[in-house]
């Protein structure tokens, strides 16, 4: 399975109801997330599904990615703060071959570190807002993790720069 971890975009400091869960993407966050998604589409193919945290900023990020990739979105409550080990265990049980997960830090960096360097102490990966990582995960028939290799890390700035090479950027530029 290719596991693509996409961190949510830039969000408000406070949600409309005062909770962290309701924090929405800012207009800048929407624009930069769309550009990052378009850039990602120049080299990555999301063939199966987009799993998202139920927190508003992640759901909005997933909706933008779904528009770009034309894939369904499934809300996955575990991505709203579940233990990285538990997320890994559950995603390894999924039947898809390419899965994008949209969620939060520090959970996503911890997942990459646990998958790719389980013997190292944490702190060597940090996904910026609208940044992305891809890990190739190999599991056994019983869904136990066998191996994982980091394929790439992409900063949001890298992804946005790649967006300029997308032939039809009318979605990004705001043109009709």
The dihedral over CA atoms of 18, 19, 25, 27, expressed in degrees to the nearest 10, equals 0
**What's residue 151's pLDDT?**
96
Contacts of 63 (CB under 8 A, 6+ apart): 73
Please tell me the distance from the alpha carbon of residue 61 to that of residue 7, in angstroms, as a whole number.
8
If pLDDT is split at 50, 70 and 90, which confidence band does 16 have? very high
Read off the pLDDT of residues 99-120 as tens digits, 9 standing for 90 and up.
999 999 999 999 999 999 988 8
Bridge partners (DSSP) listed for residue 170: none
- The angle at the Cα of 84, spanning 3 to 49, to the nearest 5 degrees, equals 30
pLDDT at 42: 95
Q: Which domains does the chain have, with CATH numbers?
A: 2-166 (3.40.50.1240)
The pTM score is 0.92
pLDDT band at 166; cut points 50, 70, 90: confident
* Band of pLDDT at residue 170, cut at 50, 70 and 90: low
What value does the mean pLDDT of the chain take?
A: 92
Residue 106 near residue 82, CB atoms below 8 Å: no
Over residues 37-72, the pLDDT tens digits come to 999 999 999 989 999 999 999 999 999 999 999 999
The confidence score (pLDDT) of residue 164 equals 85
- Predicted pLDDT at 168: 61
User: In this prediction, what percent of the chain has a pLDDT beyond 70?
Assistant: 95
């Amino acid at each position: 399975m290719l596991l693509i971890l996409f961190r949510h975009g830039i969000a408000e400091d406070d949600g409309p109801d005062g909770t962290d869960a309701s924090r929405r993407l800012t207009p800048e966050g929407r624009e930069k997330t769309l550009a990052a998604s378009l850039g990602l589409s120049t080299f990555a193919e999301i063939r199966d599904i987009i799993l998202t945290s139920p927190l508003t900023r992640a759901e909005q990020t997933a909706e933008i990615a779904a528009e770009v990739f034309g894939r369904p979105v499934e809300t996955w409550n575990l991505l709203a703060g579940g233990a990285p080990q538990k997320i890994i265990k559950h995603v390894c049980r999924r039947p898809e071959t390419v899965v994008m997960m949209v969620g939060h830090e520090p959970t996503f960096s911890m997942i990459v570190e646990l998958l790719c360097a389980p013997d190292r102490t944490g702190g060597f990966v940090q996904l910026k807002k609208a940044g992305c990582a891809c890990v190739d995960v190999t599991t056994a028939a019983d869904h136990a993790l066998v191996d994982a290799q980091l394929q790439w890390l992409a900063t949001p700035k890298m992804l946005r720069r790649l967006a300029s090479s997308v032939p039809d950027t009318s979605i990004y530029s705001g043109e009709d």
